[in-house]
Chains A and B, each alone.
Chain A
Amino acid sequence: MSRRVGMEASFAIAEAVKLAEAEVVAAYPITPQTHIVERLSEMVADGEIDAEFICVESEHSAMSACVGSSAVGARTFTATAGQGLELMHEVLFVASSSRLPIVMAVANRALSGPLNVWGDQSDVMAARDCGWIQYFAENAQESFDLTLCAFKIAEDPQVLFPVMLNIDGFFVSHVVEPLYLLEKEELEGFIPPYQYPFPLDPRRPVTMGAFAPPVLCTETRKALEVALQGTRETILRVWKEFGDRFGRSYKPIETYRTEDADTILVGIGCYTETASVAIDTMRARGEKVVMVHLRLWRPFPFPEIRAALQGAQKVLVFDRCIILGGPGGPLCSEIKSALYGEEKKPKIFNFIGGLGGRDITPRQFEDMIARGREILDSKVTVEYETIGVRE
């Protein structure tokens, strides 16, 4: 039977990696991810998990080591954050284009500069186009469940893509919450034994990382994109199977209080849980507001977003990252591009906040929604507003 325990999300991820029987963990310490790999290291040392823990000298080496171990057919896990993810950047593309099913947890953190170790989503958003399946967990329970699902999705023969599980740094990674842990017997058969179809093996030689001249590069990039888009079905199937077996279902987007809304607030990551408190308060006052939060980020859930936002008059998008020199927040940019071709389009406005670990209270979300409606009722003159900024 599943056990209800109090545990921080970092440790919950480590528990899931143990249950998934990862064989290699290669990592480098960086705040706020460190607890995940420290816990895994203890598990390896105590013999709780039959895995090799490789301590490397940088995150670039960590991801390179993951590519190496995954390429020989070992089930591979790593975790990082912020600058660490950016240092891995060039290797992320090698992992996805080599179709290596590495699983990585990222405790989302701000990027330098200024130097800041606290949470926002600048790191994952800067790596959003690296060809990985990317999704978000908002609490410890989701972190545990979705780490288990990550291995099953990544290694599915129809997928063979690396998966990045994002959790907000500190607000999720370091918070102790109640959650249900699954036992080994309960999980039986959920994650099949890992069988990478083309491992580097002297008995069956293969070539990896080969050169592709102009005559081939377009086709391989296109094939990669088609394959990544094609992972949607497996992601949905695995999340449904998890729900059927263990009672907790996950969807590419989650909606909260969807009945008769005129304004929809869209977000991604754990701040949406705070925002849902504001939604409750406002609905109790009779205001027709709704929350839509994305779980799946790559491949982007275009059909689900279009369906969810179709009937709304006003859409407000909350981002925890600024695209410097671009249109504002990355989430809003994607939402606008998803809806541009639709005949019936809502008015959209973007708010940016929660940068570098700054908290946003439910009351601030209420103010944001009121302010957003006001802006959309008048003439919109700016791309976005920044919450609580001192100018």
Chain B
Amino acid sequence: MVTAADFESKTEIKWCPGCGNFGILAAMKDALAKLGLSPEKVLVISGIGQAAKTPEFMQCNMFHALHGRALPLATAAKIANHNLKILVNTGDGDCYGEGGNHFMHAVRRNIDLTVLAHNNMVYGLTKGQASPTSERGTITRVHQHGVIMEPFNPLAVALSLKAGFVARGFSGRMEHLSSIIQQALQYNGFSLIDVLQPCVSFNHVNTHRWYSERVYELEKENYSPADYMQAMVKAQEWGNRIPIGIVYKQDKPSFTDQVFALKDGPLVDRTYSPEPLRELLKEL
């Protein structure tokens, strides 16, 4: 039997005390254990940032990639071995900024993997500059008069590109987040979980308390994640009430389902056998 402890790493965790990442890490391990996925079946991939340190703190297959580049790497890993369960741990800067282009095309490709975007609305690793999800007016060392750009809305962007699994979690509700991660891992296709996460060092507005007072679970609201237009409306809801849970879910064929060459199993398990081709060429 797989337990969360199987994913424990001996590496010292280098996040600030109270960081939302701890909740996400715990939820992820819990979800993997509940699905009975043992560490050798799991691949955790990240880019650069505080979120991207996550695989370093886990015991399983991992690749800590370059800034913004987790998704192309994860896409190819999935295509080469679609038996792997792939979790991408990324942040708002990594996924929606530097890797924004890759994010859009990973959604379009509908590759079967789960993206956990640790969204703290700030660049934590480089000490508090505004990120793509920072709200207008956010003041940082670089944005002295406040951010003047509209924040990136990950749920609405993913929905606009017809993502089949779009969800939001909160690092302060571990069990709820674990449940979303489990459903995302079981979903066949691209699944986005944007995880609201306080940054105790650099975001003094969107704190644990701030989120706790606002988030509500969609599952308790008689909400159906099958309605696309309703999902678009939910994706825009922000302020006094912030929905968490599965915003949209619809089954459709994933990328690897549609590639004929992958029907006989993962590429990594194939042997090189040019003989049939030689026979075919003789016929010509």
Binding stretch for chain A, among B4-12, B140-148, B175-183: B140-148
Given contacts A31-B125, A41-B143, A57-B132, 11 further A-B contacts (CB under 8 A): A30-B126, A31-B126, A38-B129, A38-B142, A41-B141, A41-B144, A55-B129, A57-B98, A83-B66, A83-B67, A115-B64
Pairwise interchain contact A29-B98, C-beta atoms closer than 8 A = no
Measured between beta carbons, the chain B residues less than 8 angstroms from A112 are: 66
CB of B266 closer than 8 Å to a CB of A? no
CB of B68 closer than 8 Å to a CB of A? yes
Q: How far is the CB of A113 from chain B (nearest CB, A)?
A: 8
B window 131-165: CB within 8 A of A:
132, 141-145
Bound CA–CA A53/B67 (angstroms): 22
Pairwise interchain contact B129-A45, C-beta atoms closer than 8 A = no
CB of A58 closer than 8 Å to a CB of B? yes
Bound CA–CA A55/B143 (angstroms): 9
B window 88-133: CB within 8 A of A:
97-98, 100, 123, 125-127, 129-130, 132
24 A-B pairs within 8 Å (CB atoms) are namely A29-B123, A29-B126, A29-B127, A29-B129, A29-B142, A30-B126, A31-B126, A37-B142, A38-B129, A38-B142, A42-B141, A45-B144, A46-B144, A55-B130, A55-B143, A57-B98, A57-B132, A58-B97, A58-B98, A83-B48, A83-B66, A83-B67, A87-B67, A115-B64
Bound CA–CA A31/B124 (angstroms): 12
Can you name the residue of chain B whose Cβ is closest to the Cβ of A28?
A: B98
Interface-centre pick from A29, A31, A83, A87 (highest chain B CB count, 10 A): A29
Bound CA–CA A44/B127 (angstroms): 19
A window 108-139: CB within 8 A of B:
112, 115
Bound CA–CA A41/B127 (angstroms): 15
Q: Which residues of B contact A (CB under 8 A)?
A: 48, 64, 66-68, 97-98, 100, 123, 125-127, 129-130, 132, 141-145
Q: How far is the CB of A22 from chain B (nearest CB, A)?
A: 16
Bound CA–CA A361/B58 (angstroms): 36
Measured between beta carbons, the chain A residues less than 8 angstroms from B129 are: 29, 34, 38, 55
Q: How far is the CB of B47 from chain A (nearest CB, A)?
A: 11
Bound CA–CA A58/B67 (angstroms): 9
Number of residues in A with C-beta < 8 Å to the partner? 19
Measured between beta carbons, the chain B residues less than 8 angstroms from A30 are: 126
Can you name the residue of chain B whose Cβ is closest to the Cβ of A58?
A: B98
Measured between beta carbons, the chain A residues less than 8 angstroms from B142 are: 29, 37-38, 41, 53, 55
Q: How far is the CB of B2 from chain A (nearest CB, A)?
A: 29
Q: Which residues of A contact B (CB under 8 A)?
A: 29-31, 34, 37-38, 41-42, 44-46, 53, 55, 57-58, 83, 87, 112, 115
Can you name the residue of chain B whose Cβ is closest to the Cβ of A46?
A: B144
Q: How far is the CB of A87 from chain B (nearest CB, A)?
A: 8
Bound CA–CA A45/B140 (angstroms): 11
Q: Which of A38, A46, A58 contacts B141 (CB 8 A)?
A: A38
Q: Provided the pairs A57-B98, A57-B132 are in contact, do residues A42 and B144 lie with their beta carbons within 8 angstroms?
A: yes
Q: Which of B68, B123, B143 contacts A58 (CB 8 A)?
A: B68
Bound CA–CA A83/B52 (angstroms): 16
Bound CA–CA A112/B65 (angstroms): 9
Measured between beta carbons, the chain B residues less than 8 angstroms from A31 are: 125-126
Can you name the residue of chain A whose Cβ is closest to the Cβ of B141?
A: A38
Q: Provided the pairs A31-B126, A83-B66 are in contact, do residues A45 and B100 lie with their beta carbons within 8 angstroms?
A: no
Bound CA–CA A34/B141 (angstroms): 10
Measured between beta carbons, the chain B residues less than 8 angstroms from A29 are: 123, 126-127, 129, 142
Bound CA–CA A44/B142 (angstroms): 9
Can you name the residue of chain B whose Cβ is closest to the Cβ of A86?
A: B66
Pairwise interchain contact A57-B97, C-beta atoms closer than 8 A = yes
Can you name the residue of chain A whose Cβ is closest to the Cβ of B52?
A: A115
Interface-centre pick from A37, A46, A115 (highest chain B CB count, 10 A): A115
Measured between beta carbons, the chain A residues less than 8 angstroms from B67 are: 58, 83, 87
Q: How far is the CB of A336 from chain B (nearest CB, A)?
A: 33
Measured between beta carbons, the chain A residues less than 8 angstroms from B125 are: 31
Measured between beta carbons, the chain A residues less than 8 angstroms from B143 are: 41, 55
Can you name the residue of chain A whose Cβ is closest to the Cβ of B142?
A: A41
Q: How far is the CB of B6 from chain A (nearest CB, A)?
A: 25
Bound CA–CA A44/B97 (angstroms): 23
Bound CA–CA A338/B67 (angstroms): 38
Bound CA–CA A112/B68 (angstroms): 14
Pairwise interchain contact A45-B68, C-beta atoms closer than 8 A = no
